[in-house]
Structure 1
């Protein structure tokens, strides 16, 4: 076999391989350019949105993975490699990983929901699953809370979204709910006026909504008033403490008794000893 006949036999394969190689380069470059365009579009779309940066980054990563898988399969197809078996293997692997990471996937999807719907943000004080604390971090799998005594709680997102979330700092203002009991012999109108006056003295108590002081219950040993001033959320604990102290001092000064439960015990069938 001479060189001419050898070249005649090899040439069609080389030409075919050359076209395939060119197609592979075009597919690769198209995928790379496409990802660049997608990144720019996402950056422009989400730059002025309120969506968490973590969600945007995750979306970008998922798109990158999907495009890269598509480009890989397209290149394999152009090189003449059967892709059906590859797709089947990838599908089986994905299914196996999904079963193995079922709990993590639940936490992951819950993390996405938390970032999308924002039931709380970093810095909020929340109670969830019987635990309360300041939100320290919001992650894709778990959130971290810092308790008032400076303990760190790591809570899976699946547990958070599956429970009731109470956000104490979601609103700008909060109402303080107190109960003050006075003796049955007290002047109720005077008591109410005195408590209202102490609320009005506190500069952190909001004028609107108007504080409420009213009889709420006739207890066993006291007439109970509910005391409900409104404050800025940041001032809640400060005002609560100040109001309790001021009301106690003022009621004492006015001679208004704050009773405490008492029991009279009668002894029968015993003789007193001298």
Structure 2
């Protein structure tokens, strides 16, 4: 190929090459600008969420999600500016997203429930809860599962969708709890003395709060016993030790005072036929 032919080729294709180069440079500039804008906005959102005390896991995820969405919104026009047909790309991404969503329905449900758990905080690490049909101390809450430690130190991994689909009872959320004791005494026992013993035991226990004041009253007249109710308040962390101590002291005090606690029994009578 001689120099004349080369000059003809350059003259023929140079304008198109220049236009392609300009479009490519413009597309690259748009991608870079979109990248920095997405990074800047996601950084602002992450900073705001951190200042509001939102969980670090959720903050990181939301920041990354915002970044990728904004970057994609900037990259698609850049590809179109470069001369690439974006309609087929968008259609392919949509189809792929639909297929992935159908394949991961359970995982996506767990993920959505995890976001709600982290955002609304019905429980936190260290709380004792009933959730998903299980009881235990919350060890961790991730985007897909919640881990509980039972009283005998078993680890239970519960999918977040199961946690959010049922009631969550949080025993550690409030600073105080009420102990509910129902004590049955026999109908022959001295009811006033029994109430006095309960009052003395409650006043002698230092872990029982003075405010709100404990409630000691006759709850009902049962089939075989007079049922007294004793409802003192304690700090949440003192609930079980105080309850166990109160029950033990109550039994000893009733035994000393001669107050009987009835128990189910059956009398069988035999009649001899003549």
Instruction: Give the TM-score normalised by the residue count of structure 1.
Output: 0.93
Asked if residue 33 in structure 1 is aligned to residue 41 in structure 2, the reply is no
Q: Residues 164-193 of structure 1, C-alpha deviation per residue, up to 9 Å, x if partnerless?
A: 111111111100111111121222112111
Asked if residue 112 in structure 1 is aligned to residue 115 in structure 2, the reply is yes
Asked if residue 221 in structure 1 is aligned to residue 224 in structure 2, the reply is yes
Please list, as runs of the form range in 1=range in 2, the aligned pairs for 1:155-170 lying within 5 A after superposition: 155-170=158-173
Query: Which residue is equivalent to 1:102?
Result: 105
**Which stretch has the larger CA shift, 182-191 or 87-96?**
182-191
Query: Which residue is equivalent to 1:47?
Result: 50
**Which stretch has the larger CA shift, 66-75 or 8-17?**
66-75
Shift of 1:255: 2.1
Shift of 1:72: 3.5
Please list, as runs of the form range in 1=range in 2, the aligned pairs for 1:257-272 lying within 5 A after superposition: 257-269=260-272
Q: 1:270 to 1:104 in 2, by over 3 A?
A: farther
Give the conservation status (yes or no) of the 8 Å contact 2:50–2:59. Answer: no
Provide structure 1 residue ranges, at least 5 long, that are not aligned to the other structure.
none
Asked if residue 198 in structure 1 is aligned to residue 201 in structure 2, the reply is yes
Query: Which residue is equivalent to 2:87?
Result: 84
Give the conservation status (yes or no) of the 8 Å contact 2:43–2:63. Answer: no
Asked if residue 63 in structure 1 is aligned to residue 104 in structure 2, the reply is no
**Which stretch has the larger CA shift, 255-264 or 242-251?**
255-264
Provide structure 2 residue ranges, at least 5 long, that are not aligned to the other structure.
none
- Count residues in correspondence: 271
TM-align CA RMSD:
1.6
Shift of 1:116: 1.4
Query: Which residue is equivalent to 2:10?
Result: 7
Aligned with residue 134 of structure 1, among 132, 137, 142 = 137
Q: Residues 57-109 of structure 1, C-alpha deviation per residue, up to 9 Å, x if partnerless?
A: 11112122213323432332222111101111111111111111111111111
Aligned with residue 174 of structure 2, among 165, 171, 174 = 171
Aligned residue for 1:215, secondary structure, equals strand
Shift of 1:160: 1.1
